[in-house]
């Protein structure tokens, strides 16, 4: 049983004191994901969780030795298509062997039962979504964010931004009560015999943005499930509508952190990459800085549709700013040479095309996503190296 912990700092101290409680976490960063996986990385760092691998695929090899897998927001169809049969099979095997799955927003939709291809590869739990209808109202704002076709029906999102959820079930990792978290298109789920409801939507705040009238939004959300767990005791599958990983929402972050501590599978496997060296990244630092400057004046021209997602200017800047934040104070990266070369090449190509105005938005976003995934892996490797160095010094009495 986890002791009563009410802050990220307290959970960080617990993880530092009991490092054996820290299992390996795989964060999916592949095709279809949005910038929300960056939030997962930032929150895990704030919690002091260092055993993290950011991966563009979910294969048997990637998930081997991991204790938990996190899939956050994006385009659910694109994620399912990218993972394909191999990813679905590997993820199902991982869960059946005791692995913890946490899905938020698109990652929540991914594991819900569906008849549509390729979503039907991931029919892990049944919890019908209430925000799915044949006839939907006309939105009063942000039409491009309001709805996406789903066969002859539409998945629609009456609100965006902060929302209140009521945690209704006492688990070892979380107490009952009302907390806030942001929602950007996440599922509104109905209760079935295959799931246990952890939290329900219960209200709005002054930071909620209504895309339809409030009365209709209230009808869709209030009382329905915001978070569910697979009812089968041996399946650790959690689906969340809101983004509990958003770094600005500490109470929601505690659910994520405590879930990883209490439900993450413990393994003896070592997922550290071998034969990595501290490689010079001054060129990458310069490219990231120049790309930030170039994008500031060009992102409006890159807005538009990519699959079922409408890309906004901040999507591009969020990725390049995250890359810059992780490399700006570093002279070296603990990385494989081919990783450094790939990031350098992608940044050079992106900068060249942004300056010329010839780059397609989806290609740019995929390139920035791939670069960020590598850079976050370097950053967390450095954190683990520092931790080992400190442990060695303490053992030697230095």
Domain shared by 238 and 303, yes or no: no
pLDDT digits (tens, 9 = 90+) for 15-46: 888 877 789 999 999 999 999 999 999 999 99
Per-residue pLDDT reduced to its tens digit, 96-115: 999 999 999 999 999 999 99
**126-183 pLDDT tens trace:** 999 999 999 999 999 999 999 999 989 999 999 999 999 999 876 655 667 999 999 9
b or e along 307-324 (b: 16 or more beta carbons within 10 Å of the residue's beta carbon)? bbbbbbeebbbbbbbbbb
**CB neighbours of 160 closer than 8 A, spacing ≥ 6?**
142, 145, 182, 183, 184, 185, 208, 209, 211
Q: Which residue shows structure tokens 């015999």? A: 193
Position 397 pLDDT exceeds 60: no
Strand partners, 104: 240
Residues 206 and 118 both lie in one domain: yes
Q: DSSP 3-state assignment of 143?
A: helix
Q: Is 49 helix (H, G, I), strand (E, B) or coil?
A: coil
Mean pLDDT of 330-342: 90
- Per-residue pLDDT tens for 51-89? 999 999 999 999 999 999 999 999 999 999 999 999 999
| pLDDT in the model for residue 283 | 93
- CA distances 124 to 66, 105, 127, 237, Å, are 19, 16, 10, 8
Other C-beta atoms lying within 10 Å of the C-beta of residue 71: 32
Query: 184 or 396, which is more confident?
Result: 184
| Cα–Cα distance measured from residue 220 to residue 155, given in angstroms and rounded to the nearest whole number | 12
| Boundary residue ending a domain (240, 263, 286) | 263
Decide: helix, strand or coil at residue 327.
Answer: helix
Residue 140 forms part of a structural domain: yes
Clarify whether residues 13 and 145 are in a common domain. Answer: yes
Looking at residue 390, what is its pLDDT? 42
What phi-psi label fits residue 110: left (phi over 0), alpha (psi between -120 and 50 degrees) or beta?
A: alpha
Q: Which two tokens stand for residue 111?
A: 């594991």
The token duo for 213 is 């009238």
Helix axes 282-296, 313-327, angle to 10 degrees: 150
Answer yes or no: is 1 within a domain.
Answer: no
Q: Residue 291: is it exposed, middle or buried by C-beta count within 10 angstroms (0-12/13-18/19+)?
A: buried
Identify whether residues 77 and 164 lie together within a single domain: yes
Query: What is the average per-residue pLDDT within 235-257?
Result: 97
* Phi/psi-derived region of residue 185, left when phi > 0, alpha when psi is between -120 and 50, beta in every other case: left
In this structure, are 95 and 179 located in the same domain? Answer: yes
Instruction: For residue 39, give the CATH number of its domain.
Output: 3.40.50.880
| Mean of all residue pLDDT scores within the chain | 90
DSSP letter, residue 244: T
The domain boundary, picked from 263, 286, 302, lies at 263
pLDDT given for residue 386 in this prediction:
78
* Residue 291, in any domain of the structure: yes
Is the link from the previous residue into 118 a cis peptide, with omega within 30 of 0? yes
288 has pLDDT over 60? yes
Question: What domain range includes position 208?
Answer: 8-263
pLDDT at 270 (0 to 100): 63
- Quick check: is 299 in a domain? yes
392 pLDDT more than 60:
no
Given a contact cutoff of 8 angstroms between Cβ atoms, the answer to whether 211 and 158 are in contact is yes
- pLDDT, residue 176, reads 77
Residue 395 has pLDDT above 80, yes or no: no
Same domain, 243 and 285: no
Per-residue pLDDT, averaged over 281-304, amounts to: 85
* 73 & 204 share domain: yes
Paired tokens of 122: 């991931």
Residue pair 242/252 in contact (Cβ under 8 Å)? The answer is yes
What is the mean predicted confidence (pLDDT) over 246-260? 95
| Cβ neighbours for 390, distance < 8 A, ≥ 6 positions apart | none
Q: Check residue 387 and give its pLDDT.
A: 58
- Per-residue pLDDT, 348: 96
Where is the domain boundary, 206, 232, 263? Answer: 263
**Cα separation, 114 vs 89, whole angstroms:** 16
What is the largest distance, in Å, between two alpha-carbon atoms of the chain? 69
In whole angstroms, what is the distance from residue 392 CA to residue 389 CA?
5
Distance CA 219, CA 235 (A): 31
pLDDT in tens, 197-217: 999 999 999 999 999 999 999
Same domain membership, residue 378 and residue 258: no
Q: Count other Cβ atoms within 10 Å, centred on residue 172.
A: 11
Same domain for 209 and 286, yes or no, is no
Per-residue pLDDT band at 330 (split at 50, 70, 90): confident
Cα–Cα distance measured from residue 107 to residue 70, given in angstroms and rounded to the nearest whole number: 8
Range 115-134 average pLDDT: 97
Question: pLDDT value at position 269?
Answer: 60
Is 270 contained in some domain?
A: no
pLDDT at 3 over 60: yes
Domain shared by 187 and 105, yes or no? yes
Flag whether 308 is in a domain.
Answer: yes
Q: Do 125 and 181 share a domain, yes or no?
A: yes
Let me know whether 290 and 209 are in one domain.
no
DSSP character at residue 272: P
Give residue 331's pLDDT band: very low, low, confident or very high (50, 70, 90).
confident
Q: Provide the pLDDT for residue 311.
A: 73
- Give me the residue label for tokens 């938020």: 104
Into how many domains does the chain fold? 2
Within a domain: 3: no
Whether residue 271 is contained in a domain is answered as: no
Report the Cα 180 to chain-centroid distance in Å.
Answer: 18
């Amino acid at each position: 049983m986890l002791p009563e912990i009410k802050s990220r700092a307290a959970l960080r101290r617990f993880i530092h004191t009991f490092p054996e409680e820290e299992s390996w976490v795989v964060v999916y960063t592949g095709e279809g994901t949005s910038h929300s996986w960056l939030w997962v990385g930032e929150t895990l760092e704030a919690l002091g969780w260092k055993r993290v691998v950011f991966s563009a695929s979910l294969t048997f090899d990637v998930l081997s030795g991991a204790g938990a897998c996190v899939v956050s927001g994006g385009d659910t169809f694109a994620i399912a298509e990218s993972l394909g049969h191999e990813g679905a099979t590997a993820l199902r095997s991982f869960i059946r062997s005791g692995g913890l799955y946490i899905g938020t927003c698109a990652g929540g939709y991914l594991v819900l039962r569906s008849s549509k291809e390729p979503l039907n590869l991931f029919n892990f739990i049944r919890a019908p979504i209430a925000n799915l209808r044949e006839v939907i109202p006309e939105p009063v704002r942000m039409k491009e964010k309001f709805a996406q076709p789903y066969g002859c029906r539409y998945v629609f999102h009456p609100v965006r931004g902060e929302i209140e959820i009521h945690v209704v079930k006492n688990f070892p990792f979380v107490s009952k009560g009302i907390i806030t978290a942001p929602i950007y298109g996440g599922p509104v789920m109905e209760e079935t015999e295959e799931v246990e409801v952890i939290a329900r939507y219960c209200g709005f705040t002054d930071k909620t943005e209504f895309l339809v009238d409030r009365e209709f939004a209230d009808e869709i959300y209030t009382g329905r499930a915001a978070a569910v767990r697979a009812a089968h005791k041996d399946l650790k599958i959690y689906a969340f509508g809101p983004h509990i990983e958003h770094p600005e929402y500490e109470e929601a972050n505690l659910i994520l952190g405590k879930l990883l501590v209490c439900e993450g599978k413990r393994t003896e496997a070592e997922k550290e990459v071998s034969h990595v060296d501290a490689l010079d990244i001054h060129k990458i630092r310069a490219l990231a800085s120049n790309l930030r400057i170039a994008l500031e004046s060009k992102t409006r021209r890159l807005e538009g549709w990519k699959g079922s997602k409408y890309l906004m200017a901040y999507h591009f800047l969020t990725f390049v700013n995250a890359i810059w934040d992780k490399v700006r104070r570093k002279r070296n990266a603990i990385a494989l040479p081919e990783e450094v070369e790939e990031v350098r090449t992608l940044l050079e190509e992106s900068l060249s095309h942004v300056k010329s105005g010839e780059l397609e938005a989806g290609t740019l976003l995929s390139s920035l996503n791939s670069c960020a995934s590598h850079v976050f892996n370097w950053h967390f490797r450095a954190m683990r190296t520092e931790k080992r160095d400190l442990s060695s010094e303490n053992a030697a009495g230095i």
